[in-house]
Amino acid sequence: MVVASPNPIRAEKVQPIELPVIDLSAERSEVSKLIVEACEEYGFFKLINHGVSDNIIAQMEEEGLNFFTKPLSEKQRAGPATPFGYGCKNIGFNGDIGEVEYLLLDTNPLSISQRSNTISNDPNKFSSAVIGYIQAVRVLACEILDLMAEGLWVQDSSVFSTMIKDVESDSLFRLNHYPPILCKDRETSPSSFHSHSSSKVGFGEHSDPQILTILRSNDVGGLQISLGDGVWVAVPPDPTAFCVNVGDVLQAMSNGRFLSVRHRALTNSCKSRMSMAYFGAPPLHAWVTAPAELVTPNRPLLYRPFTWGEYKKAAYSLRLGDSRLDLFRTAQQ
């Protein structure tokens, strides 16, 4: 197997982008319209007034940092990530590596409690922080998915959220921790979202396979999204907001109206970055296809129906940067 090395990347200037900002406390039909526009144009948006309490977020951040500041030998007790647990540099099983360490967890409370024993010296505190955080972001994800269905004028407005509400949902939770770059002088090289000459790939270019990702990070930049044709833009960090992005399954279920956009995380700051991602996914046996309202003679079905299990198997057999949704396109396209 050829193993890619996380080489320093070209220090091209990457411009910052101001993603669409959705205020969840605004009038419902306006919110759903703006979410649909953002998902069609960028596949990404920032969410403010999201209702997840500062306390829930702070507890999760504290537990994440407690874990990553442990000595490597202790962190390795929670690994290797096959697929769940602690991983360092290796992403997935197909030779992808990056300047990142992470904890990958499934979202089942029982398995979180069991795994907490190898992660934390205070397993109950760790598992209640994770379970509380996942519960809150799942509720938020369901609300966003209902708003999306309403904005798309789909009759069954819970068609997307039902999948992640299901007790068998295959949703995941991931904590990523990226090392700082070497900065000679913190004053002259402040933490910034611009690319530095010593930037390295933390988490390589990819799209998220699931329905929806709810991401947040500390106040350190690194996330970039692709506008296509090799153009990357930097998403400035904002710890008060969630960054929401469309996954491959939602691109298929919206019959290609919403975009599952490629993104990556670079290490380009003097401070370490920690991000937390909730990936809302269907149960393995659930069928993924676009609702009838989104399939018309002018817009025929773009992707053949598939189960999430089938899609996941394909995704996990491929490299991080591979375009897996193309394998499921219907013949007429």
Find the shortest distance in angstroms from Cβ 260 to Fe ion. 10
Residue nearest to Fe ion (CB): 208
> Among 172, 212, 241, 259, which residue interacts with ligand L4NPZUNZ (rule: CB under 6 A)?
172
Which residue of the set 28, 273, 299, 324 is catalytic? 273
| 223 touching ligand AKG, by CB under 6 A | yes
The residues, any chain, with a CB within 8 Å of residue 282's CB and separated by 6 or more, are 163, 164, 166, 169, 170, 211, 249, 288, 308
> Among 174, 216, 263, 264, which residue interacts with ligand L4NPZUNZ (rule: CB under 6 A)?
174
Residue 275 binding result from ligand L4NPZUNZ, Fe ion, ligand AKG, none, given CB thresholds of 5 to 8 Å by partner type: ligand AKG
Find the shortest distance in angstroms from Cβ 28 to ligand AKG. 29
Residue 273 is among the residues annotated as catalytic for this protein: yes
Give how far the C-alpha of residue 41 lies from the chain's centroid of Cα atoms, to the nearest Å: 18
| 320 touching ligand L4NPZUNZ, by CB under 6 A | yes
From the CA atom positions of the chain, what is the Rg in Å? 19
CA distances from 300 to 40, 188, 273 (A): 17, 54, 42
Residue nearest to ligand AKG (CB): 275
Q: Which of 270, 266, 267, 246 is nearest to 258 (CA)?
A: 246
String of DSSP letters for 82-122: SSSEEEEEEETTTTEEEEEEEEEEES-HHHHHHHHHHH-SS
CA distance 108 to 114: 10
Contact segment (CB under 6 A) with ligand L4NPZUNZ among 18-26, 88-96, 145-153, 157-165 equals 88-96
CA distance 118 to 72: 13
> Among 63, 99, 208, 248, which residue interacts with Fe ion (rule: CB under 5 A)?
208
Element (H, E) at 216: strand 212-217
Toward ligand AKG, which CB reaches closer, 142 or 220? 220
Toward ligand AKG, which CB reaches closer, 137 or 152? 137
Beta 242-246 vs 231-234: how paired, if at all?
Answer: unpaired
Give catalytic residue positions: 273
Which residues contribute to the site for ligand AKG (CB under 6 A)? 174, 176, 203, 208, 215, 217, 223, 263, 265, 275, 277
Q: Which residues bind ligand L4NPZUNZ (CB under 6 A)?
A: 83, 91-92, 94, 96, 104, 172, 174, 206, 208-209, 279, 315-316, 318-320
